[in-house]
Structure 1
Amino acid sequence: MKNKQEIGALLLRVVLGIIFIGHGTQKFQGGIENIAGWFDSIGLPGVLAYLVASIELVGGIVILLGLATRIVGGLFVIVLLGAIVTVQLAAGFIGGYAYDLALLAISVYLLLNGSKLYSLDSYIVKRKGDRPFWL
């Protein structure tokens, strides 16, 4: 049987990837220009909306596949800290930043520990024989 820790990391990676794919897709399908306008309205550069949505969508796909898990986990940490500080904190814990805090904890875990089980990173290491810095 596989290591319980690796199974847990795989579950966290898959769930986080699916959630972020959903959030990124929603931003693009709902009109990224509207999100950019909303960013402007709260004092953030509108172009940041494109960056955040891209990190969410592409990062979600990449982390789901287990590629550069630690790097993407770090990007998610930055996005989530930004969301908590700029928007969710003012809304309070429940109905505000509780959900983002849970995603932040998962992202920090993956940033620190990675997730090798059923990952493209592990496949690459087996093929090349050297360990990339993000594993």
Structure 2
Amino acid sequence: MNANEIGKVILRAILGLTFFIHGFSKFQGGIANTAGFFDSIGVPGFMAYVVAVIELVGGIILILGLGTRVVSMLLAVIMIGAIFTVKLSAGFLGDGQMAGYELELLLLAMSVYFIFTNQSKISLDQKFSTNN
């Protein structure tokens, strides 16, 4: 086990945990409220359910290292959507009314890393891989 593998696991677990908590909070705070917010910014309200489920379930399976590339692609798309539909107008650090897009950019970069990197040796992806 080398430092690179340990780093991948830590990064994947933190990314998964962050998305899990964000998805969970959408349901805990009332998914109907999130759907209403989506409608208010011109995104169909049903997409709130899609995003919340991807964040919640995707976060869990990312922590486990299962379907890492696919989940990371979905999460990257969500972050691109969040940046361009909500956060870009506030700027990188925010505008005093709303946080900027710095967090979304970090989560996007982390997701993109997992799209392109090799599977971690400590993951279910590796355990079930036919390339072992």
Give me the CA root mean square deviation.
Answer: 1.4
> TM-score, with normalisation over the residues of structure 1?
0.89
Identical pairs, percent: 52
The within-5 A match list for 1:5-16 is: 5-16=4-15
- The aligned residue for residue 96 of structure 1 is 100
Distance 1:100 1:111 in 2: 16
1:112 correspondence with 2:127: no
Amino acid paired to 1:62:
I
Amino acid paired to 1:35:
T
The within-5 A match list for 1:29-108 is: 29-94=28-93, 95-108=99-112
Contact 1:10–1:115 (Cα < 8 Å) also in 2: no
Amino acid paired to 1:36:
A
Distance 2:68 2:2 in 1: 18
Distance 2:14 2:27 in 1: 20
Distance 1:117 1:44 in 2: 39
Amino acid paired to 1:61:
I
Amino acid paired to 1:123:
K
Q: Which runs of 4+ in 1 moved over 3 A?
A: none
Displacement after TM superposition at 1:114 (Å): 4.5
Contact 1:63–1:72 (Cα < 8 Å) also in 2: yes
Alignment length (residue pairs) = 127
Distance 1:58 1:110 in 2: 17
Displacement after TM superposition at 1:117 (Å): 3.0
Displacement after TM superposition at 1:131 (Å): 3.5
Select the structure with the greater relative contact order (CA < 8 A; seq sep ≥ 6).
1
Displacement after TM superposition at 1:73 (Å): 0.6
- The aligned residue for residue 96 of structure 2 is none
- The aligned residue for residue 26 of structure 2 is 27
Structure 2: any 5+ residue segments left out of the alignment? 94-98
Distance 1:83 1:117 in 2: 31
